[in-house]
A and B are shown apart, each in its own frame.
Chain A
Amino acid sequence: MKINIVPLEENHKLLNCPGNVQNNEMFSSILNGLSFGFKKDNRQIILLLRNESSEVMEVLPEGNETVNVFTAVNFLLSNFVNKNKIDIKTAFQIIDTLFNIESDVPVQKTIYPLFSLLGWLPSKKGEDAYKAFPNFSDKLQAMLQNKKVALNDAFLFHLHMTDFSYNEILDLLPENLSFSEANLSLKMVTEIAQNTKSNSIQKDTSLISEIAKKLSSAKDKADFMNTLKKLRYPKVSLLKERFSDYINAFKFPGGVSVTTDELFEKNTVNMTISFTDKNNLEKKLAQISEQLKKQNDSTDYFCIENLLEEK
């Protein structure tokens, strides 16, 4: 479909043009009337997404020119629309409208380039997300709508969790999770479910309920994230806990800290001693030595290999 773009003249009527309204409203009216229309800096624009349209548009600086609809939409979106203000449903509807326009040119060249202008995922991934979007649960759609999670993460979550009634988990996400924490939570839940599934013959439904049960007792956001991390990384969490319990059992004097590679990839353990003078150092070394002797019977977890070997 070709659309004529001509300079706007006095007698041209603006169809569905809401004037200086918020972009969101503007796009609602576009979708009903299949036309764009709005005003910005005294420039008025209309784009009719209709086959029979030879209706009027203003704006392209070059003036009299024939462009295809996709180019026109691209121009409008890149010059006049703040993509952060387009909500996900509107973006979906615009993409939907564009997909329904017949064109000989492949979508990769017509629609894909517009995705990112709409805050949508560029390329084939965007098309897949577009196809999946109507099937997202209402809850997931609402989270997207409220910018609680990213489209990419929501899409992958849905893709991997389609077999599960995943709302049970979404209901448990604390309200005050940040954007990145919410995305991370979706990822971790997906991975926990996949891991559990590949390790057992458990029915999908009970699997989700089991994760939900463990998460539901979280007191607050920090506890929730912590519980999720323990479920996702059980061995790492266990060994970290074991190591810190071991260190804490020594009553090392103040100003002494013991650290190791966070994920136990290295065999070395570091001890830092802050001291003020030679006497102070001697005193602290004596205290450290005394503490080490007291724990002589327990397994030496300073030896990382012992720590890792322990079941």
Chain B
Amino acid sequence: MIPIAFKKVWIENKIANHYKTKHILSKLGDIDIDYFDDLNTLIHNTPTVFHPKDRSKTLVLSAIRGEILRKCPGTHGHLCCNYHIINQYIGCPIGCSYCILQGYLNQPFTIINVDIESIFEELENFQRNYPGKQIRIGTGELGDSLVYDHLTNFSEDFLEFFAGRNEFIFEFKTKTTNIDLLLKHRSPGNIVVGFSVNPDIVRINEEEFSATLKERIDAATALVNAGYKIALHFDPIVSIANAEQEYKQTINFIFSQLKPEDIAWISLGTFRYTNDLKSMMEYNYPKSSLLSREFVLCSDNKFRYFRPERTNLYKMVIGFLHDINEDLPIYLCMESPEVWMDTLEILPGNCSGCPQEETMDLLFKRRVTLKKGTQN
């Protein structure tokens, strides 16, 4: 049960009368409300908080600022999958011990950017400037894409906007089962719902308020029936006792309900952290033992499992996935070319001579448009 109980709402004056602001407030009921003009001043005047639980007590409704459609920054020396992100939600109440947001969010509250029309304007500009260019976009970078959907109804807005705009593939990334609004509609065809998946033991120890694996896969199954494609994110893959057995069971369970052709893509990424995240994890989640394994500092200043351990974890998961189906579209998230070669034995850019990023996009596009029953 996710603790979504905001105690206070701050509203940026310029969007005070926005229809979404009113809609969200109507869902929140009786709540302490205040107004502000400048987000930075508000941040400055509000005591710092460290724990995601504390960050989730106060909601800020504001207008989106800065670059709206951004390319996922990727990291030095590691291959990038050319994903684009929109920061609609900033902050998340699910409470994963490994959540990278702890390391870089400095605001002591959760932000929802209500002016969805600014996002759509930006996307239309993109279409005009780069006609026909394929991109994948998601909102799940600085928060869960669906955890507040019952407050915002954004999913319905996105479905409506993306219908017929086939150069975009839009992904909702979630660890929840908050899919009721999605299920009210058939997928327009270019919508993917991504579920992060891990053995339940990882969820129990490290993801305080996320849905169980069974709940997530039940939700995914319902979405498939409504025409949506599913992405699976084995991220973070964690080195745990009985890893082989745990991951095998997890993968077999997932594919006891989903078919390979339901899957748009599968990303794999082993647990990694920055120094900032480490110090926040040590403080916020002292019971987590994730940090105690053997890590090395990589060229992007992130710590990862030592290469042989990482490679073994990837090989193990890829092996179980290949046992299900050799053609599942698997990619590694933020990994070095060496580890791609050690595990998948390809580099994306080498498949057809075109740049790495475009190869990835074409691969994903083919998967999303794959018709039921056409997977070998």
A130–B336 CA distance with the chains assembled, in angstroms: 43
| B106 surroundings in chain A (CB, below 8 A) | none
Whether B308 is near chain A, meaning CB under 8 Å from some CB there, is yes
Give 1 or 0 for each of B207-249: 1 = CB within 8 Å of chain A CB.
Answer: 0000000000000000000000000000000000100000000
Known: A159-B286, A305-B342. A265 touches B50 (CB 8 A): no
- Assuming the contacts A159-B286, A235-B309, A263-B307, asked whether A123 and B297 have C-beta atoms less than 8 A apart, the reply is no
Q: Is A125's CB within 8 Å of the partner chain B?
A: yes
Q: Is B4 in the interface zone, CB < 8 Å from A?
A: no
Q: Is B289 interfacial (CB-CB < 8 Å)?
A: yes
For chain B residues 300-356, which have a beta carbon within 8 Å of chain A? 306-309, 311, 336, 338, 342
Neighbouring A residues of B129 by C-beta, 8 Å: none
Report which of B282, B294, B309 forms a contact with A156, defined as CB distance below 8 A: B282
Q: Closest Cβ of chain B: how far from A308's Cβ, in Å? A: 4
- Contact at B47–A191, with CB atoms within 8 Å? no
The smallest C-beta distance from A232 to any residue of chain B, in angstroms, reads 8
Interface residues of B in 71-86 (CB under 8 A from A): none
Supposing A108-B47, A195-B289, A263-B296 touch, asked if A235 and B241 sit within 8 A by C-beta, the answer is no
Q: With the chains together, A160 CA to B286 CA distance in Å?
A: 6
Q: How far, in Å, is B295 (CB) from chain A's closest CB?
A: 8
Asked if A106 is at the interface of the complex by the 8 Å CB criterion, the answer is yes
Q: Which of A108, A193, A197, A236 contacts B306 (CB 8 A)?
A: A236
CB pair B298 A123 closer than 8 Å: no
Q: Specify which of B48, B309, B338 is in contact with A266 (CB 8 Å cutoff).
A: B338
Q: B49 in the interface, Cβ–Cβ < 8 Å? A: yes
A166 within 8 A of B: no
Q: Do the beta carbons of B308 and A194 come within 8 Å of each other?
A: no
Alpha-carbon distance A156/B285, docked complex (angstroms): 11
Task: Judge whether A119 is part of the interface by a CB distance below 8 angstroms.
Answer: no
Pairwise interchain contact B50-A123, C-beta atoms closer than 8 A: yes
Most chain B beta carbons < 10 A, residue from A198, A199, A305: A198
Counting CB contacts under 8 A, is A234 at the interface?
Answer: yes
The distance from the CB of A190 to the nearest CB of chain B, in whole angstroms, is 8
Distance in angstroms from A210 CB to nearest chain B CB is 15
Decide yes or no whether B292 CB sits under 8 A from chain A. Answer: yes
Give Cα A47–Cα B266 distance, bound, in whole angstroms: 64
Q: Which residue of B lies closest to A106 (CB)?
A: B47
The reply to whether the CB of A100 lies closer than 8 angstroms to some CB of chain B is: no
Contact status B289-A309, CB under 8 Å = no
Docked-complex contact A264 and B307, CB < 8 angstroms: yes
Chain B residues whose CB sits within 8 angstroms of the CB of A266 once the complex forms: 336, 338
A residues 213-264 near B (Cβ < 8 Å) are 232-236, 239, 263-264
User: Are A124 and B50 neighbours in the complex by a CB distance under 8 Å?
Assistant: yes
> Contact: B291 with A191, CB < 8 Å?
yes
Residues of A within 8 A of B369 (CB): none
A136 vs chain B, min Cβ distance (A): 15
**B342: nearest residue on chain A (CB-CB)?**
A305
Instruction: Tell me if A's interface is mostly helix, strand, loop or mixed.
Output: helix
Task: Check if A123 sits within 8 Å of B294, measured CB to CB.
Answer: no
Q: Which residues of B contact A108 (CB under 8 A)?
A: 47-48
Residue of B nearest to A152 (CB): B279
Cβ-based interface call for B35 (8 A): no
Q: Is the CB of A194 within 8 A of B306?
A: no
Which B residue sits closest to A305, measured CB to CB?
B342
Give complex CA distance A253, B241 in Å: 47
Q: Are B289 and A234 in contact (CB under 8 A)?
A: no
Contact A265 B241, CB 8 Å, known A106-B47, A109-B47, A308-B307: no
User: Is B283 close to A, CB under 8 A?
Assistant: yes
Question: Is A34 interfacial (CB-CB < 8 Å)?
Answer: no
Q: A109-B47, A305-B342 are in contact. Are A235 and B308 (CB under 8 A)?
A: yes
Select one of B241, B306, B307 contacting A198, CB under 8 A: B241
- Contacts A125-B283, A309-B308; is A265 near B294 (CB within 8 Å)? no
- Which of B49, B51, B291, B296 sits near A265, CB closer than 8 Å? B296
* A-side contacts of B306, CB under 8 Å: 233, 235-236, 263-264
Asked if A122 is at the interface of the complex by the 8 Å CB criterion, the answer is yes
Shortest Cβ distance from residue A158 to the other chain B in the assembled complex, whole angstroms: 10
Q: Is the CB of A265 within 8 A of B298?
A: yes
For window 32-52 of B, CB contacts with A under 8 Å fall at: 47-51
Query: A160 to B282, Cβ gap below 8 A?
Result: yes
A194 in contact with B289 (CB, 8 Å): yes
A38 sits at the interface (CB 8 A): no
Q: Smallest CB-CB separation from B298: which chain A residue?
A: A265
Q: How far is the CA of A233 from the CA of B307 in the complex (A)?
A: 13
Question: Chain B: residues with CB nearer than 8 A to chain A?
Answer: 47-51, 54, 241, 279, 282-283, 286, 289, 291-294, 296-299, 306-309, 311, 336, 338, 342
The 5 closest A-B pairs by CB, nearest first: A108-B47, A194-B292, A195-B292, A198-B289, A263-B296
